[in-house]
Structure 1
Amino acid sequence: MSVFTKPVFEGTVVFEDKELFKGQGAAKQWAQQVGVELGILVEVRKIGTGWALVGNVDGVETVWGIYGQRLKRISNSI
């Protein structure tokens, strides 16, 4: 099962209309899973009051948050 189809049952916060992880620890666990699936380094970044996942996909910085209890690309760069 892809990490992108798994439900995200973690605490979240909304910052600038983007749903982000509330805790750094939960974000790090999801970052590790995304990194393994995509074969890239994925880190967490504090954005406002929450945490997002950030990785370099095909040479482009990509940021993931949460939408509808699933991971979702929220921007190519924040």
Structure 2
Amino acid sequence: DSAHARKIAAVLQRVRPDLVLLNEFDFDPEHRAADLFQQRYLQVAQPGGGAALRYPYRYLAPVNTGVPSGLDLDNNGS
């Protein structure tokens, strides 16, 4: 159980956007993490949120966080 996930779900339930982009969501090829977030948090009315929410479609792409760019992004010569 995650207090952070509950808070995110509550905001989404209140705002009820048609489309959601969640950055830094753990990627797994079977989409288990996204499915569990949907089932355990979005589809359950959260305190401070609204009615349960269901997104029938989701897309997860591999993340590149922490992958070296090969460029000197801070211009320090390394």
- Same fold (TM > 0.5): no
Structure ranking higher on relative contact order (CA contacts 8 Å, 6+ apart): 2
Q: Which protein has the larger Cα radius of gyration, Structure 1 or Structure 2? A: 2
TM-score (normalizing by structure 1): 0.28
**Which structure features the higher share of helix residues?**
2
